[in-house]
Amino acid sequence: MADERSAVLVGAAQLTQRDADPHEAPGPLAMLAQVAREAAEDAGAGDSALRALDTLGVVQVVGWGARNGPRLLAEALAAKPARELVTAIGGELPVTLVNHIAQRIADGEVRVALVAGCNNLRTLRLARETGIRPDWERGGSGEPELFGEEKPGSSPRELAYGLNAPAFVYPVFENALRARRGLDLETHRRRIGALMSRFSEVAARNPYAWFPVARSAEEIARPTPQNRMIAFPYTKYMNAVIETDQAAAVLMMSAAAARSLGVPEEKWVHWWAGAHGQEEAWFPSERPDFAECRSLGDTVGRALAGAGVALEAIDHVDLYSCFPVAVEMACEMIGLDEDDPRGLTVTGGLPYAGGPTNNYTLHALATMMERLRARPGSKGLVTGNGWYLTKHSACVASTAPPGGRARRAAPPPVGVRRAPEPPAEEVRGRGTLEAYTVRYERDGAPKQGIVLGRMDDGRRFLANTPDDRALLESFAAVEGVGREGRLSTADGHHVFDPA
């Protein structure tokens, strides 16, 4: 039996709105309120649970710009929480916030809490195309507490060379990891296609998935007019879908509060442990090694250790999956086979299930709760990732109480692992590539080559290739890692010429 201060997730809800006209589409506040009420109904406590809220957290909603979103949501729910939080930017933050609240419950500081988030980028795009300004409530008195750190994911230098969005940064890691594994380009193409095909099969069974369509490995990996190249080696079907209208919410309580509010114990999902961390090198171009992600493995390891379980004892897994390399790197760092029979997602992942920008892991937690309730006593692991394999989170949960196991979020490790290695301000001589990608135009033509490597003196460089179509096409046809070339600078801009 759980003690009174055990943290339990008792209610969850998700919403996917595919076909709303931008004139009539519900805004963030309406969607957040809907999933909040449905999460309370899922718990069997209804409005009494919402009136009992003492903590309310909202995952940052891109494009909303409300002065105090948590206050607006609280007023819509007739709730008066003492603590209102809004997260910073980061796909890891919903899990980190759940871990934080679980620890506060264990400390006796929180009884009833709600975490909710949504994404409305589809409606925003359609509204722009038709000249509509969505009539969204953007007020809210007071100022919420910021949870997490507001910090850009790319440095000014990275922005100048084209590393300005996830679609162009993650392929850099993918190419470095492929080369480290010694895979030729075609074998690697088929392999990541097969990996993501398995994700799409899960999405096809998920009623909340944005694209509930099972796709073959070849359909995902082969460039076509419908599946254009975005940045080598990723096609459109390998990229997280961004323009969706989706929402999710999770209701948490202490065991004592759950009992007092009449939540049936078969609804309880016990939080066992959690952890978070970040890479020492914040900016992607400064990573000492583009084919590893030590903090990711450490974060998952500390969550499992806090729960007192081995990875082999976990029954359900959801790895953050914005791009194939996020999944591959997680498997690499925690020692999990990519074809593990347990599967690597419960939702179908970001390219197919959706839940983009900051809120995917709340969808993963809501779906994980369904899986755990359907198989009492089983254990689940959910991981999160922010920016560019930069920030990490993980938590372990089960319908079984944790017993005497630790019930606190593990703190980040202390001490520097490997110092950041920023690219040199001046480059000259020759260099050897460590990682690269090629960006593409919408018509399929290669647009820009982005390369990182080492000069002969060992210093890191970041550069673009010459604007030559034949050269760019060769980068997508022949292994580029290890390739040597000449470095030069024109008007302060670094160029790597493999000729």
Is residue 275 helix, strand or coil? strand
Between the alpha carbon of residue 156 and those of residues 74, 159, 285, the distances in Å are: 38, 5, 11
- Whichever domain contains 64, its CATH number is 3.40.47.10
CA distance 357 to 376: 32
CA distance 102 to 94: 12
* Same domain assignment for residues 363 and 458: no
* Same domain assignment for residues 394 and 439: no
Q: Is residue 197 part of a domain?
A: no
> In sequence order, which residues have a C-beta less than 8 Å from that of residue 487 and are 6 or more positions away?
427, 428, 429, 430, 431, 455, 461, 463, 494, 495, 496, 497
Q: Is the dihedral of CA 173, 176, 181, 184 positive or negative?
A: positive
* Same domain assignment for residues 480 and 443: yes
Query: What's the rounded mean pLDDT across residues 298-313?
Result: 96
Q: Is the pLDDT of residue 212 over 80?
A: yes
Is residue 295 helix, strand or coil? helix
Quote the tokens at residue 409: 């979020």
pLDDT for 408 equals 58
* Same domain assignment for residues 334 and 456: no
CA distance 304 to 282: 25
CA distance 119 to 360: 9
Q: Is residue 192 part of a domain?
A: no
Burial class (CB in 10 A: 0-12, 13-18, 19+), 278: buried
Query: What's the rounded mean pLDDT across residues 133-143?
Result: 92
For 375-409, b where at least 16 C-beta lie within 10 A, e where not — what string? eeebbbbbbbbbbbbbbbbbbbbbbbbbeeeebeb
* Same domain assignment for residues 48 and 105: yes
Q: Is the pLDDT of residue 414 over 70?
A: no
**Span 219-275, pLDDT tens digits:** 999 999 999 999 999 999 999 999 999 999 999 999 999 999 999 999 999 999 999
pLDDT class of 373 with cuts at 50, 70, 90: very high
483 phi/psi in degrees, rounded to 5? -70, 140
Name the average pLDDT for the chain. 95
pLDDT class of 24 with cuts at 50, 70, 90: confident
The total of structural domains in the chain comes to 2
* Same domain assignment for residues 360 and 448: no
* Same domain assignment for residues 385 and 435: no
Quote the tokens at residue 263: 């939540």
Please name the residue that has the structure tokens 């993980």.
Answer: 394
Q: Is residue 108 part of a domain?
A: yes
Query: What's the rounded mean pLDDT across residues 209-215?
Result: 97
> In sequence order, which residues have a C-beta less than 8 Å from that of residue 98 and are 6 or more positions away?
9, 115, 250, 252, 271, 274, 365, 395
> In sequence order, which residues have a C-beta less than 8 Å from that of residue 415 and are 6 or more positions away?
none
* Same domain assignment for residues 119 and 247: yes
pLDDT for 457 equals 94
State which residues form the domain around 288.
7-153+242-410
Q: Is the dihedral of CA 489, 494, 495, 498 positive or negative?
A: positive
pLDDT for 499 equals 76
* Same domain assignment for residues 452 and 354: no
Q: What is the DSSP string of 391-439?
A: EEEEEEEESS--TTS--SEEPPPPS-SS---PPPSS--SEEEEEEEEEE
Q: Is residue 405 part of a domain?
A: yes
**Span 416-457, pLDDT tens digits:** 467 899 999 999 999 999 999 999 999 999 999 999 999 999
430 phi/psi in degrees, rounded to 5? -115, 160
pLDDT for 416 equals 41
Q: Is the pLDDT of residue 407 over 60?
A: no
Q: Is the pLDDT of residue 141 over 80?
A: yes
Q: Is residue 188 part of a domain?
A: no
Is 134 or 436 the better-scoring residue by pLDDT? 436
* Same domain assignment for residues 286 and 398: yes
* Same domain assignment for residues 462 and 338: no
Whether the Cβ atoms of residue 363 and residue 370 lie closer than 8 Å to each other:
no
CA distance 324 to 170: 9
- Whichever domain contains 478, its CATH number is 2.40.50.840
Q: Is residue 178 part of a domain?
A: no
Q: Is residue 176 part of a domain?
A: no
Q: Is residue 187 part of a domain?
A: no
Whether the Cβ atoms of residue 306 and residue 410 lie closer than 8 Å to each other:
yes
pLDDT class of 406 with cuts at 50, 70, 90: very low
43 phi/psi in degrees, rounded to 5? -75, -15
pLDDT class of 409 with cuts at 50, 70, 90: low
* Same domain assignment for residues 60 and 119: yes
pLDDT for 491 equals 87
Please name the residue that has the structure tokens 């999990």.
Answer: 336
